Chain A
Amino acid sequence: MARIVIENVHKSYGDVVALKPFSLSISDGEFVVLVGPSGCGKSTMLKILAGLEPASGGRIILGDSDVTDLAPGDRDVAMVFQNYALYPHLTVRQNIGFGLKMRGMSRSEIDRRVEEAGRTLGVAHLLNRKPRALSGGQRQRVALGRAIVREPRAFLMDEPLSNLDAKLRVHMRAEISALHNRIGVTTVYVTHDQIEAMTMADRVVLMREGEIQQIADPDTLFQRPDNLFVAGFIGSPGMNLVSTSLDSVGGRAGVEMFGSRVPIDGREIDSPRPIVAGIRPEHINLGEGPVSFTVRPSLIESLGSEKYIYFQDDAHQVTRSGDEEESSKGLIARVPNPGLLREGEEVTLSFDPANLYLFDARSERAL
Chain B
Amino acid sequence: MRRSPLKSALLYGSVIGSLAVILFPVYWLFVTALSTTFELSGLPPSFWPENPQWWIFGKVWSERPIPRWLTNSAIAAIGSVVLSMFVSVLAGYALSRFRVRGGHSLGLFILTAKMLPATLLVIPLFALFSRLGMLGSLWTLIFAHSTLIIPFTTWMLKGYFDTIPRELEQAAMVDGCSPLGAMLRVILPVSAPGLAATALYAFVLSWADYAYARTFLVNAQSNWTANLGIATMRGEYTTDWNEISAAAVFVAIPIILIYLFLERYLVGGLTAGSEK
Contacts and interface: CB of A to CB of B under 8 A. Distances in A.
Interface of A: 47, 50-52, 71-73, 77-79, 81-89, 98-99, 102-103, 130-134, 136, 139, 146, 150, 163
Given A87-B274, A146-B171, 10 more contacts: A79-B174, A83-B274, A85-B165, A85-B171, A86-B275, A89-B190, A99-B175, A102-B177, A132-B274, A133-B273
Contacts of B172: 87, 98
B270 A89 contact: yes
- A-B interface, 8 closest residue pairs, ranked by CB to CB distance from nearest: A132-B273, A83-B275, A102-B176, A73-B176, A99-B175, A85-B167, A88-B274, A85-B171
Contacts of B168: 85, 87
Contacts of B14: none
A169 to B, nearest CB: 14
A52 B272 CA distance: 24
B167 A81 contact: yes
Interface residues of B, number: 24
B268 to A, nearest CB: 11
Interface of B: 165, 167-168, 170-178, 181, 186, 189-190, 192, 270-276
B176 A163 contact: no
B275 A52 contact: no
Contacts of A133: 273
Contacts of A146: 171, 175
Contacts of B270: 88-89
A132 B272 contact: yes
Contacts of A72: 170, 173-174
Contact of B271 (A71, A78, A88, A134): A88
B274 A73 contact: no
A136 B273 CA distance: 9
Contacts of A71: 173, 178
Nearest to A47: B170
9 contacts: A73-B173, A77-B174, A81-B171, A87-B186, A87-B190, A102-B176, A131-B274, A133-B273, A134-B273
A130 B189 CA distance: 14
A316 B181 CA distance: 61
A132 B272 CA distance: 6
A99 B170 contact: no
B175 A102 contact: yes
B170 A86 contact: no
B45 to A, nearest CB: 51
Max count, chain A CB within 10 A of own CB: residue among B172, B177, B189, B273: B273
Contacts of B173: 51-52, 71-73
A227 to B, nearest CB: 33
Nearest to B171: A85
A145 B87 CA distance: 37
A72 B167 CA distance: 13
A222 to B, nearest CB: 32
Contacts of A85: 165, 167-168, 170-171, 274-275
A51 B182 CA distance: 15
A365 to B, nearest CB: 38
Nearest to A50: B174
B211 to A, nearest CB: 40
Contacts of A47: 170
B274 A79 contact: no
A305 B276 CA distance: 34
Contacts of A83: 165, 167, 274-276
A81 B175 contact: no
A240 B74 CA distance: 75
Nearest to A133: B273
A29 B114 CA distance: 57
B113 to A, nearest CB: 30
B174 A136 contact: no
Max count, chain A CB within 10 A of own CB: residue among B171, B181, B186: B171
A133 B178 CA distance: 29
Contact of A98 (B170, B175, B192, B272): B175
A79 B171 contact: yes
Contacts of A82: 167
A82 B274 CA distance: 11
B189 A99 contact: no
Contacts of A79: 170-171, 174
Nearest to A81: B167
A100 to B, nearest CB: 9
Given A52-B173, A77-B174, A81-B171, A86 B273 contact: yes
A127 to B, nearest CB: 15
Max count, chain A CB within 10 A of own CB: residue among B171, B174, B178: B174
A132 B274 CA distance: 7
A355 B207 CA distance: 81
B99 to A, nearest CB: 9
A220 to B, nearest CB: 32
Contacts of A84: 274-276
A15 to B, nearest CB: 15
A99 B254 CA distance: 42
Nearest to A97: B175
Nearest to A143: B171
B273 A73 contact: no
B189 to A, nearest CB: 4
Contacts of B186: 87, 89
